[in-house]
């Protein structure tokens, strides 16, 4: 089966040599690379044209800058393969990843989407791997196989994996539709949920030789994390409506899943309010748009009280470690 590797690229021309070399090194050779240039102003087009001169499996498409979801959606319309692999231009795949996933899907026609481990590495240090983009050693991935209510529950608890982890059948993509183009940083999470709502059977492939490598640009991690939290609040609002309409869920399943999703949304909202920039008006306005003003105001004062208590505890702890000597204490 041919695998269409869809690669959105915005000003990441400096990574394309490594990206294409990584694909050429794959043990599975029946692939096509669909590079979608999202209005780059660097040398992306020139680099791709240079590669096309000696690598016929690479295709190039240009669009005015419209975002990564629009680029992936264009790639889906151009894909000729039976299977789809998404790959960001600065990320890499293990040598046997595609082959092992293709072999599994070929042997299990009932499975629509197969995903693998993902590891993170700091830009410039590809040999050192971490389970999370903050390099804290936090293993956030969920690992499951299943469909319908069980799969929905797992995806309510967490995102499936990074976008370059799964290989899915193009027939599934035809039913699940396109990536949402009006959101950012959680568009892949929503897409995997769309796949489950389209009836997908998901399988986690437990093989140490199959993984994807995500490049982390350290300077942007904190801002990306905050934006992802905003995106998750928006995602959970969308998901609540989708659960109500899901044809494959009975009323009991819908009710329990909506409660779980609502609890996760409120926990995240509380965390952002307690740890976010309370002095930022734009932040508070953003939170109100994702929840509501009465809740924002209520948690605003709770967050101030929480921070005051936290500061007092820190001061008390510092005083206990540095007791003040009495003025009349005898000196030995």
Do residue 238 and residue 310 come from a single domain?
yes
Do residue 154 and residue 291 come from a single domain?
no
Do residue 145 and residue 252 come from a single domain?
no
What is the reported pTM?
A: 0.89
DSSP-assigned beta bridge partners for residue 36? 8, 61
Do residue 132 and residue 241 come from a single domain?
no
Do residue 203 and residue 241 come from a single domain?
no
Q: How far apart are CA 315 and CA 318, in angstroms?
A: 5
Identify which has the larger pLDDT, 217 or 77. 77
pLDDT tier at 327 (50, 70, 90 boundaries)? very low
Do residue 142 and residue 85 come from a single domain?
yes
Do residue 176 and residue 242 come from a single domain?
no
Do residue 178 and residue 305 come from a single domain?
no
**Kind of pairing between the strands at 92-93 and 211-216:** antiparallel
Print the domain residue range for 302: 228-321
Is-contact 273 286, C-beta < 8 A? no
Final residue of a structural domain among 157, 181, 216:
216
pLDDT of residue 134: 87
pLDDT of residue 310: 79
Is-contact 87 183, C-beta < 8 A? no
pLDDT tier at 332 (50, 70, 90 boundaries)? very low
pLDDT of residue 314: 59
pLDDT tier at 225 (50, 70, 90 boundaries)? confident
Q: Is the pLDDT of residue 148 over 80?
A: yes
Quote the tokens at residue 7.
């690669």
- Is residue 290 in some structural domain? yes
Identify which has the larger pLDDT, 220 or 88. 88
Do residue 207 and residue 130 come from a single domain?
yes
Final residue of a structural domain among 188, 216, 244:
216
pLDDT of residue 214: 95
Do residue 206 and residue 58 come from a single domain?
yes
- Is residue 222 in some structural domain? no
Tell me what the mean pLDDT of segment 129-133 comes to: 93
Residues shown for the chain: 332
Tell me what the mean pLDDT of segment 7-34 comes to: 97
Tell me how many domains the chain contains. Answer: 2
- Here the CATH number for the domain that contains residue 150 is 3.90.550.10
pLDDT of residue 69: 96
Q: How far apart are CA 178 and CA 159, in angstroms?
A: 17
The 8-class DSSP code of residue 324 comes to: P
Tell me what the mean pLDDT of segment 172-195 comes to: 93
CA-based nearest residue to 166, from 101, 250, 107: 101
pLDDT tier at 217 (50, 70, 90 boundaries)? confident
pLDDT tier at 329 (50, 70, 90 boundaries)? very low
Tell me what the mean pLDDT of segment 70-87 comes to: 98
Q: Where are the alpha helices (DSSP H) in the chain?
A: 16-24, 44-52, 68-78, 97-107, 148-157, 170-176, 187-197, 221-245, 251-275, 281-290, 293-321
CA-based nearest residue to 41, from 61, 13, 67, 83: 13
Q: Is the pLDDT of residue 326 over 70?
A: no
pLDDT tier at 319 (50, 70, 90 boundaries)? low
pLDDT of residue 320: 66
pLDDT of residue 55: 97
Q: How far apart are CA 309 and CA 111, in angstroms?
A: 51
Q: What percent of the chain has pLDDT over 70?
A: 92
- Could you tell me the end-to-end alpha-carbon distance of the chain, in angstroms, rounded to an integer? 86
pLDDT of residue 224: 72
Quick: pLDDT tens for 279-307.
Answer: 999 999 989 988 899 999 999 999 998 88
Q: How far does CA 266 lie from the centroid of its chain?
A: 20
- Is residue 174 in some structural domain? yes
Tell me what the mean pLDDT of segment 215-234 comes to: 78
Q: Which phi and psi (to 5°) does residue 59 adopt?
A: -115, 150
Do residue 194 and residue 292 come from a single domain?
no
Mean pLDDT of the chain: 91
State the chain's maximal CA–CA distance in angstroms: 88
Quote the tokens at residue 32.
């096509």
Identify which has the larger pLDDT, 327 or 60. 60
Identify which has the larger pLDDT, 199 or 319. 199
């Amino acid at each position: 089966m041919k695998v269409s590797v869809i690669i959105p690229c915005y000003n990441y021309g400096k990574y394309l040599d490594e990206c294409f070399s990584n694909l050429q090194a794959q043990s599975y050779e029946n692939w096509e690379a669909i590079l979608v240039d999202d209005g780059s102003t660097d040398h992306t087009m020139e680099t791709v044209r240079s590669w096309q001169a000696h690598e016929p499996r690479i295709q190039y498409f240009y669009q005015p800058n419209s975002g990564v979801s629009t680029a992936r959606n264009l790639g889906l319309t151009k894909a000729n393969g039976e299977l789809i692999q998404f790959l960001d231009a600065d990320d890499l795949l293990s040598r046997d990843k595609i082959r092992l996933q293709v072999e599994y899907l070929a042997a299990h026609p009932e499975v629509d989407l197969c995903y693998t481990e993902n590891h993170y590495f700091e830009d410039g240090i590809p040999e050192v791997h971490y389970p999370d983009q903050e390099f804290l050693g936090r293993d956030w991935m969920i690992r499951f196989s299943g469909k319908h209510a069980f799969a929905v529950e797992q995806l309510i608890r967490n995102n499936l994996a990074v976008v370059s982890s799964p290989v899915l059948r193009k027939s599934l993509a035809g039913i699940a539709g396109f990536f949402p183009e009006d959101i950012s940083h959680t568009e892949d999470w929503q897409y995997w949920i769309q796949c489950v709502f389209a009836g997908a059977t998901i399988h986690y492939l437990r093989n140490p030789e199959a993984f994807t490598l995500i490049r982390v640009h350290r300077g942007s991690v904190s801002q990306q994390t905050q934006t992802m939290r905003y995106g998750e609040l928006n995602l959970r609002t969308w998901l609540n409506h989708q659960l109500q309409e899901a044809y494959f869920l009975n009323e009991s399943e819908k009710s329990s899943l909506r409660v779980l999703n609502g609890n996760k949304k409120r926990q995240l909202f509380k965390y952002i309010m307690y740890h976010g920039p309370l002095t930022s008006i734009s932040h508070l306005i953003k939170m109100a748009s994702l929840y509501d003003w009465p809740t924002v105001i209520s948690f605003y004062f709770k967050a101030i009280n929480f921070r005051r208590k936290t500061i007092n505890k820190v001061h008390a702890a510092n005083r206990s470690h540095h007791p003040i000597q009495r003025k009349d204490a005898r000196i030995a």
